[in-house]
């Protein structure tokens, strides 16, 4: 089989790109996106649950243990993974 000049270089480049593409890492975010300006705008003793819900949105979870306070939790998770790790 004969190749035109430069074909082997192109094939080697494509093979190298395909092999390294499988090693790429990726990042993912799930849950609440924190906006520092909005969080800093909330003032303890001034804001109530309705104003916090209006500013930050509804919480991810509401506490179940203390029936009088019912703490609010805004939960998120960042993950990072590689296709192949050793």
pLDDT in tens, 10-44: 777 777 766 666 666 778 888 888 888 998 999 98
| Res. 46 pLDDT band, cuts 50 70 90 | very high
pLDDT score at 81: 78
Does 50 map to a domain?
yes
Domains held by the chain: number = 1
pLDDT, the chain, mean: 79
Q: Which domain holds residue 64?
A: 28-81
pTM: 0.55
Question: Nearest-CA neighbor of 36 among 74, 84, 78, 77?
Answer: 74
Is 59 within a domain? yes
What's the rounded Cα separation, in Å, for the pair 32 and 78?
A: 10
Q: Percent of the chain, pLDDT > 90?
A: 8
Q: Is residue 68 part of a domain?
A: yes
Q: Give a yes or no: residue 23 inside a domain.
A: no
Band the pLDDT of 74: cuts 50, 70, 90.
confident
Tell me if 22 is assigned to some domain.
Answer: no
11 lies in a domain?
Answer: no
Identify whether 21 is part of a domain. Answer: no
Please report whether residue 18 resides in a domain: no
């Amino acid at each position: 089989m004969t190749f035109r000049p430069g074909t082997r270089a192109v094939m080697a480049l494509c093979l190298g790109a395909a092999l390294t593409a499988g090693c790429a890492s990726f990042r993912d975010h799930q849950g609440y996106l924190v906006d520092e300006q909005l969080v800093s705008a909330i003032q303890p003793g001034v804001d109530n649950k309705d104003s916090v819900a209006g500013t930050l949105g509804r919480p991810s979870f509401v506490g179940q243990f203390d029936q009088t306070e019912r703490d609010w939790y805004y939960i998120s998770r960042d993950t990072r993974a590689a296709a192949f790790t050793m």
